[in-house]
Structure 1
Amino acid sequence: MHVEIHGHRGARGLRPENTLPGLAHALELGVDALEFDVVMTADRCLVLSHDLTVSPVTSADRGPVFPGDPLFPYVGRPVGALTLAQLRTLDCGVRRPRSETDRFAATQVPVPDTRMPTFGAVLGLVDAYGADDVRMHVELKSDPSRPDLTADPVEFTEAVVAELARHRRLGGAAILSFDWRILDVARSLVPDVPRYALIEHATMDAVWLAGLHLADFGGDVPAAAAAAGGTVLSPAHVMVDVELARQAEKHELPVVPWTVNHPGRAAELLDLGVAGIVTDYPDRMRALWAERGLPVPPPVTVPAPSPAPALARA
């Protein structure tokens, strides 16, 4: 039995989310897939960000890209209204909790002076590690209820697919989105690439589900996901129970719940037959897998530094 471990935003519980150090740490721990979030900038670049606006929790202003920039400060502004150059001024390596109960404050190791990476830089990192067996699970952040913040789903999906193709990663990638319009676009563009239909209680209405109404499917979420173009159902873990697992099996959709950080809950989901677990703590899941005798993904060795070029002799 092979059940996958997916590193959520890299390894959010251990290193800054959606950053090169965080993704590298997940690779070095050992995961089956790196999951991360992509947003399109004002100048049509792809960067990693969970939020459609620059988050004050994960990002901090360091200064404007040029003196007198009218858009500075950048924190709190839509990512899609800022250029790559503006976004690259931010420090994304130190979490700044808004409350004392922030669940990652005690476990996430800061990496100061870390910049917001481009999607291409992430794929370059994976290439540098030689992590050919680790899949890229790219969540396209899109809110169909906020078109003012959201990129056109066709342009957005085409850009992500083009970047994956440029790095020869389409064969080891998956497209994820809560906005099921993107699943439909991806189905047409790259029908062989897995498509994860993300869902939570807040996104169960037609505006998120590409115009589909769950009532038309008798409340059968997996049936709706399959109709929208999903090949995998990825619900919030609190939605997963025996009934949902049986419905998904009926429609031949693997279930990969998110975000599961407690081994006890992960064990319950394993007993329900899930195909994978999305987690902020790959280390915890690896320990549970070992307890259960499940195969764990191998750590990826840190790449050796390139030798310095020999100096010419006089």
Structure 2
Amino acid sequence: MPHQPEPLVIGHRGASALRPEHTMPSYETAIALGADYIEPDLVSTRDHVLVARHENEISGTTDVADHPEFAARRTTKTIDGVTVTGWFTEDFTLAELRTLRATERIPDLRPGNAAFDGLAPIPTFDEVVELAVRHGVGVYPETKHPSYFDSIGLSLEEPLLDVLGRHGRRDRHDPVFIQSFEAANLRELRETTRLPLIQLIGGSGAAYDRMVTPAGLEEIATYADGIGVATSRVVPTGSGGRLLAPTTLVRDAHRVGLDVHVWTVRDENAQLPADFRRGDPDGPAYARATGDVMGWLAMLYDLGVDGVFADNPGTARAVLAGRSRRIAAS
């Protein structure tokens, strides 16, 4: 796996606290702020090109609804058992998607990002990897809904590995992590690549509960190199969103040779444990005000995590820098 002398800073969808997610400006900002890795979520176009979007349904992250020429493409589908209505990447060619522009997904929480609406096109995975290689940072792609895309003849695995290979990213020690919530997807990839694989684990659900047991972690270690877990798996929350005692997950995972990367650290009060929120809860801007995210990051680092997905990579990098200075001075 890629060598890491200290916890990794992973730019979650780029620097999504500061620019609309999954855009080249977002990835470029993440790199400028010190991210070790940038994270594109991957879906496919109709002509089988991988593009960076959080979901294949794009009405919340692009201006597609403002394009009358695509009005008839709006439809309803079942994706992984969930009924979704909107516009889907697999119904567009890359050329058609290129006529759209990205928009901020959560403008009420991040109104400043909305100033960048309409400026950036949807990037291809190839463009994201080229950017990462050019700046000497890693790339941390997630395959989104791989079973669904398999079912419609647009498998994600082959074009993913093809793009990485064309940029010289094939070896176990190259700066790449491939992540997925689907174990079957990772098992298939394990047969075809030496690149490090990360099993994503949600914060709730019986299947995920089994994965974080000692036996479940041993099973994951047969096909993956690490786990990417919700922060609540490391430090649960109780009444009122306040933190409870940490679990043994980090120690248990390390015991079987798995790295632990946690998601997602966000700056806003609404996204932080209650212990790290700041300001007047009755104030009009309380939800989007910045809390003590640095304190939250420091706690996670102290618990021994190997990487953090951060919406603001600059904050995560600053906490690590301060930590390094204190260690050097001690």
Superposition TM-score, scaled by structure 2 size: 0.74
Say which SS state the counterpart of residue 73 (structure 2) adopts: coil
Alignment partner of 1:237 is 2:231: yes
Q: 2:72 aligns with which of 70, 73, 77?
A: 70
Q: How does 1:187-198 map to 2 (within 5 A)?
A: 187-190=190-193, 192-198=194-200
Any conservation in 2 of the 1:257–1:277 contact (CA below 8 Å)?
Answer: yes
Alignment partner of 1:179 is 2:189: no
* Structure-2 change in CA distance of 1:68 and 1:273 (3 Å): closer
Say which SS state the counterpart of residue 159 (structure 2) adopts: helix
Matched residues in 2 for 1:154 and 1:294: separation?
Answer: 48
Structure 1 residue 71: Cα displacement: 1.8
Aligned to 1:252: 257
* Structure-2 change in CA distance of 1:151 and 1:85 (3 Å): farther
Say which SS state the counterpart of residue 126 (structure 1) adopts: helix
Residues 77-111 of structure 1: per-residue CA shift (max 9 Å, x gap): 2222222122222210x31547x4x2x33467625
Say which SS state the counterpart of residue 262 (structure 2) adopts: coil
Say which SS state the counterpart of residue 255 (structure 1) adopts: strand
Matched residues in 2 for 1:166 and 1:17: separation?
Answer: 25
Aligned to 1:300: none
Aligned to 2:144: 141
Structure 1 residue 203: Cα displacement: 5.6
* Structure-2 change in CA distance of 1:169 and 1:235 (3 Å): same
Identity %: 30
Q: Which has the higher helix share?
A: 2
Tell me which amino acid in the other structure corresponds to 2:230: A
Any conservation in 2 of the 1:16–1:109 contact (CA below 8 Å)?
Answer: no
What do you get for the CA RMSD once the two structures are aligned? Answer: 2.9
Structure 1 residue 169: Cα displacement: 2.6
Matched residues in 1 for 2:115 and 2:150: separation?
Answer: 31
Tell me which amino acid in the other structure corresponds to 2:228: S
Matched residues in 1 for 2:42 and 2:21: separation?
Answer: 12
Residues 162-215 of structure 1: per-residue CA shift (max 9 Å, x gap): 11111213332221111122211111111x21101111134653xxx8xxx938
Q: 2:46 aligns with which of 36, 42, 47?
A: 42
Say which SS state the counterpart of residue 2 (structure 1) adopts: coil
* Structure-2 change in CA distance of 1:292 and 1:219 (3 Å): closer
* Structure-2 change in CA distance of 1:199 and 1:157 (3 Å): same
Matched residues in 2 for 1:256 and 1:268: separation?
Answer: 14
Aligned to 2:99: 89
Tell me which amino acid in the other structure corresponds to 1:275: D
Superposition TM-score, scaled by structure 1 size: 0.77
Any conservation in 2 of the 1:4–1:277 contact (CA below 8 Å)?
Answer: yes
Residues 3-36 of structure 1: per-residue CA shift (max 9 Å, x gap): 1111000111011111111111111111111111
Residues 192-250 of structure 1: per-residue CA shift (max 9 Å, x gap): 21101111134653xxx8xxx938x95744224224x1111110111113311121022
Say which SS state the counterpart of residue 43 (structure 2) adopts: strand
Q: 1:273 aligns with which of 304, 310, 313?
A: 304
Any conservation in 2 of the 1:15–1:111 contact (CA below 8 Å)?
Answer: no
Any conservation in 2 of the 1:41–1:80 contact (CA below 8 Å)?
Answer: yes
Aligned to 2:30: 26
**What are structure 1's unaligned runs of at least 5 residues?**
296-314
Aligned residues: 273
Q: How does 1:94-243 map to 2 (within 5 A)?
A: 94-95=103-104, 97=106, 100=108, 102=109, 104-106=110-112, 110=116, 112-127=118-133, 130-132=134-136, 134-142=137-145, 144=147, 147=148, 155-170=155-170, 171-190=174-193, 192-202=194-204, 204-205=206-207, 214=210, 220-227=215-222, 229-240=223-234, 241-243=246-248
Matched residues in 2 for 1:36 and 1:126: separation?
Answer: 11
Structure 1 residue 263: Cα displacement: 2.0
Say which SS state the counterpart of residue 263 (structure 2) adopts: coil
Aligned to 1:299: none
Matched residues in 2 for 1:83 and 1:294: separation?
Answer: 50
Matched residues in 1 for 2:169 and 2:152: separation?
Answer: 23
Any conservation in 2 of the 1:12–1:108 contact (CA below 8 Å)?
Answer: no
Structure 1 residue 150: Cα displacement: 6.0
* Structure-2 change in CA distance of 1:71 and 1:111 (3 Å): closer
Matched residues in 2 for 1:284 and 1:108: separation?
Answer: 21
Tell me which amino acid in the other structure corresponds to 1:249: H
* Structure-2 change in CA distance of 1:116 and 1:197 (3 Å): same
Alignment partner of 1:284 is 2:321: no
Matched residues in 2 for 1:154 and 1:196: separation?
Answer: 22
Any conservation in 2 of the 1:257–1:278 contact (CA below 8 Å)?
Answer: yes
Any conservation in 2 of the 1:14–1:109 contact (CA below 8 Å)?
Answer: no
Matched residues in 1 for 2:153 and 2:311: separation?
Answer: 27
Say which SS state the counterpart of residue 112 (structure 1) adopts: coil
Any conservation in 1 of the 2:30–2:313 contact (CA below 8 Å)?
Answer: yes
Any conservation in 2 of the 1:6–1:276 contact (CA below 8 Å)?
Answer: yes
